[in-house]
Structure 1
Amino acid sequence: MFDNLKVKSKGSKIEPADPPVSPGAKPTKKQIYQARQNYGVNLGACFVLEKWIYHGLFIDDTAVELEATKKSVKKLGKDDTRKKFEDHWNSFMSDSDWDWLESHQVTSVRIPLGYWEVDGGKYTKNTKFEKYAKDVYKNAWSIFKEKFIEKAGTKGIAVLVDIHGLPGGANGDSHSGEKEGGDAEFWSSQGLQLQVCDMLKFIASDLKKYDNIAGIQVVNESVFSNDTKRQRYYYGAAINSIREADKAIPVVISDGWWPDQWVKWVQEKQSSGNIGVVLDHHCYRCASDDDKKKSPSQIIDGLNNDLLTNLSDNSKGVDIMIGEYSCVLDGQSWDKDNSSSKRDQFVKNFAKRQIELFNERANAGSYFWTFKFEAGSGGEWDFKTMSDNGVIQSPIGFKGKSVPDDRKRDEILDHEFNNHKSYWDNSNKNEKYEHDRFKDGFLTAWSDSKAFAEFNGSVIGRREAWKDARLDEHIKQKGKGKHVWEWEHGFDSGLKSFKNSL
């Protein structure tokens, strides 16, 4: 009961985060890493093992990482097991892999981690990994920083730190690392939640020195629930714990397969300012019984109406990302309408439509599942295969393009401003508008977009948080007034116009 009250108390009120950009200043490299739109990929089965992706460390028919670790320690001892795991982490990404990611304009990697790997296993007390973490996993955190964060930084690639495995599991799936099936026990243990909150504070503090951290994800695929009370308390406590160490780092939460309920929660918590949260949605069309009943063409045609739709106030104020997606459809779908005979084209169409909609509706970007497989190609689950086959490519594609000069900017601004002014003046000739606000918003968005583009062709991604920060600056300079919406229209026009000009 005491722990329950502590979690509730810790998470009940969430203060606004520091703005994603300093008032009156150009964005820094760190701020661009934290706020750009990402074209990314997951490094699945590296630090959180999944047998279907990398099977080599699973012995004696084990199915999850905890079992594999237990059996390996029993057979080989702790030191040899540690060496075997460290060899896997150290060799997972070669120099050529990082070069390939850079050449394919990948801007971020989402790296699933288990709670047992953080800071030498320090946060495993009273968990199923406690017996093994401080021996087998004692160097995992330092390897993660050196071989992944630091290496990614040399390529201009950000790292999204994804706490994929929580004690007891945030869902009943094997990728929790502890078990295959059963209840999501994490949500019923406030003691474990408080322990994880301490861990998140450490992560935020320890990684603050790096520029290229895209965010910290506090849970992966939270179990679907009609009553989200436990998730709400944990999310609040987790956010506040991170904010004790870092006021600005984006915090990523799972939408629990029901995005609108979390859009509303974030909107409610942001009544006094942006809290720096990104909502993570996963897009799979191969698992549910409903999707299996559909043909590939039905699934593709249906994406527009079932992907991130019907969100409260059109998700105003909430930045959204796609943490996982693939090009995979179920075999039952391929059996319909002779679809297998046109499989390659359907896969391309499916990928293209997903990426188009992600680009429109998930402004913080997307991460394919997954990068590589131990036994060759993973087919439509395989990022490298899908990229090399021309199925997927970056929707951003601005790297190397020249930025428009001021003359071009002013020409576009004049056109957009005149259209704005003409429309509203003709709509209500008696209204005393403040059209200069439109110009201010446009020029702010254009200037910021230019700064992003000059860093490896980046694009502003967390547009809601960024817009809130710049709007707050504008209001402090020019006052709020009834026509502040004209600044917002100008800002939106500036973002769109800059993007279209490249």
Structure 2
Amino acid sequence: MFDKLKIKSKANSVASSSAPLTPGKPSREDIYRNRQNYGVNLGGCFVLEKWLFHSIFPEGANCEAEAVAKLVEENGEDEARTRLETHWTNFMSDDDWQWLEDHGVNSVRIPIGYWEIDGGRFTKHTKFEPFGHRVYANAWSIFKKLFVEKAGEHGISVLVDLHGLPGGANGSDHSGEHGGDGKAEFWHSSELQLLICEGLKFIVKDLLDYENICGIQIVNESEFADNPKHQKVYYGAAINLIREIDGNIPIIISDGWWPNQWAEWVQELQNHNNILGVVIDHHVYRCFSDSDKNKSPQQIIDQLPADVLTNISKNGHGVDFMVGEWSCVLDQSTWDKAEGGANHKRDELVIEYGNRQLNQFMERASYGSYFWTFKFESGNGGEWDLKTMTDKGAIKSPLPNRGVQVPDGNSYERAKEDANNQQKQSVDKNYDWNRFNDGFTMAWKDSEEFLRFNGSLIGRIEATKEERLRENSTERGTPKRPDEFESGYLAGLFQFRSIV
């Protein structure tokens, strides 16, 4: 009972974010935290998955907790630690980081387990407690040195994804352990939630000096809940504790397979003067449900505009989304329904599928997307594999090239005139054009600074727009109609993008 009251007390009155951008010229850290990400998951590294790297798993083990327990039992803690550390340290080569940079990948989402935080410090009363602090003693330092720092050397950001939670956030193997009867026990244990909140505080504090940390994901693929009361308590507590240490780092939550549910939650908790600083993570897979298995490839492709992040409250106003996982995979039963047979024009359809998905994500998940995944132990992963899909032409960076030129002053003037002419078609005579043009100019200047840093684009559009509106209100007084500034900001942002 004490733990339940304690976690609820920490979740009261969810804290808002401090300013996501520095007034005037954004800093490099601002840009890392707020740009659009074209990224990839480093799946199977710090959270083991048998289908990605099978040789680490002893016979009969299906998740990391089972695998490491058997390794310790059969070979001892020292050997188990050596096996894991060899896996982590060899996972990414210098050539891999260079390949990502050369192909426009500007961010990596790295799934980690709670058992690795500070060398196993946060494993009390969990399945990793018997061996966590010894087997994982060096995990956190390896993560920082060989992943966070290496990524930074290439201008690549790191999204720290707390993928594995004690008891599991869902009933799948990729949580690192199984809950009782395959259930997600995390949501029903205040003790475990408090443990992870303390772990999150450590993560945020320990990574403060790294400017290329673009966000902290506090859960991966939360189980669906019609009434998500447990998730709301954990999300609120985690946000509050993180905000005590870092006022504006993006905090990523799972949409639990119902994006609008969490869009409404964010909208309820924030207004123009109170930005929550949360990004909602949505995953897009069209290879698992019976509904998708009963469709042809072309049907799935054609239905993407109606399937991806639609029917969002207030058209998503004030809410930033990302797609944390996606692939080019379709089930074999779907391919069997292809016109002309399963192998007829398969490559062409895969290419169309990948490109159409990325187009949707650019439009509706402006914080970015992360392909699943980058590495496989044996060969390549086909339509799960970033390199294979890149070589095929199914995916490529939608971002400007590094070193692209910033548009000149004449381009700005023409774009502003075009934006004004377009806006005149839908406004009345009392429209405040000064506010509209303030928004346009601020968006243009922000976009210039982002572009100068390796061809970056503004990604957290809602957060940056609301922050610049707040600054404008402070300087010029509270506007009667905030949408005048907001419309100008969006016009400036998209006019700029159309040029670069």
With the shorter chain as reference, the TM-score category is over 0.9
Contact 1:398 1:453 in 2 (8 A): no
Deviates more, 1:187-196 or 1:6-15: 6-15
- Pairing 1:268-417 to 2, within 5 Å after superposition: 268-271=268-271, 273-337=274-338, 338-417=341-420
**Structure 2 gaps, min length 5:** none
Q: CA deviation at 1:84?
A: 1.0
What is the CA–CA distance in structure 1 between the aligned matches of 2:348 and 2:225, rounded to whole Å? 37
SS in 1 for 2:65: helix
- Pairing 1:10-409 to 2, within 5 Å after superposition: 10-23=10-23, 25-179=24-178, 182-271=182-271, 273-337=274-338, 338-409=341-412
1:419-447 Cα offsets, whole Å, 9 max, x none, are: 43x435xx54xx43321111111110000
TM-score normalised by the chain length of structure 2 = 0.97
* 2:343 counterpart letter in structure 1: S
Deviates more, 1:476-485 or 1:72-81: 476-485
> What is residue 439 of structure 1 aligned with on the other side?
437
What is the CA–CA distance in structure 2 between the aligned matches of 1:315 and 1:489, rounded to whole Å? 15
Q: CA deviation at 1:411?
A: 2.3
Contact 1:319 1:364 in 2 (8 A): yes
SS in 1 for 2:321: strand
Contact 1:295 1:339 in 2 (8 A): no
1:349-397 Cα offsets, whole Å, 9 max, x none, are: 1111110100000010000000010101100000111111211001113
Q: CA deviation at 1:484?
A: 3.5
1:131-173 Cα offsets, whole Å, 9 max, x none, are: 1111110100000000000000000000000000000000000
Q: Would you say 1:423 and 2:422 are equivalent positions?
A: no
SS in 1 for 2:484: helix
Contact 1:296 1:339 in 2 (8 A): no
1:61-103 Cα offsets, whole Å, 9 max, x none, are: 3211111111111121111110110010000000000000000
SS in 1 for 2:472: helix
Contact 2:263 2:319 in 1 (8 A): yes
> What is residue 480 of structure 1 aligned with on the other side?
478
Q: CA deviation at 1:399?
A: 2.2
Deviates more, 1:79-88 or 1:1-10: 1-10
1:270-305 Cα offsets, whole Å, 9 max, x none, are: 145111000000000000111111111111111111
Q: Would you say 1:453 and 2:455 are equivalent positions?
A: no
**Structure 1 gaps, min length 5:** none
What is the CA–CA distance in structure 1 between the aligned matches of 2:278 and 2:15, rounded to whole Å? 12
Deviates more, 1:269-278 or 1:142-151: 269-278
Contact 2:104 2:401 in 1 (8 A): no
Contact 1:40 1:365 in 2 (8 A): yes
* 2:378 counterpart letter in structure 1: A
1:464-499 Cα offsets, whole Å, 9 max, x none, are: 010110000001111123244222111111001111
- Give the aligned length: 496
What is the CA–CA distance in structure 1 between the aligned matches of 2:242 and 2:430, rounded to whole Å? 45
Q: CA deviation at 1:7?
A: 1.4
What is the CA–CA distance in structure 2 between the aligned matches of 1:364 and 1:99, rounded to whole Å? 23
Q: CA deviation at 1:400?
A: 2.6
Q: How many percent identity over aligned positions?
A: 55
Deviates more, 1:484-493 or 1:209-218: 484-493
What is the CA–CA distance in structure 2 between the aligned matches of 1:390 and 1:423, rounded to whole Å? 40
Runs of 4+ deviating beyond 6 Å: none
Contact 2:214 2:250 in 1 (8 A): yes
RMSD, aligned α-carbons: 1.2
* 2:483 counterpart letter in structure 1: W
1:159-211 Cα offsets, whole Å, 9 max, x none, are: 00000000000000000111286100000100100010011011110001100
1:302-331 Cα offsets, whole Å, 9 max, x none, are: 111111100101111010000000000001
What is the CA–CA distance in structure 2 between the aligned matches of 1:375 and 1:485, rounded to whole Å? 53
TM-score normalised by the chain length of structure 1 = 0.97
SS in 1 for 2:253: strand
Contact 1:4 1:190 in 2 (8 A): yes
SS in 1 for 2:244: helix
SS in 2 for 1:62: coil
2:497 to 484, 494, 499: 499
Contact 2:353 2:394 in 1 (8 A): no
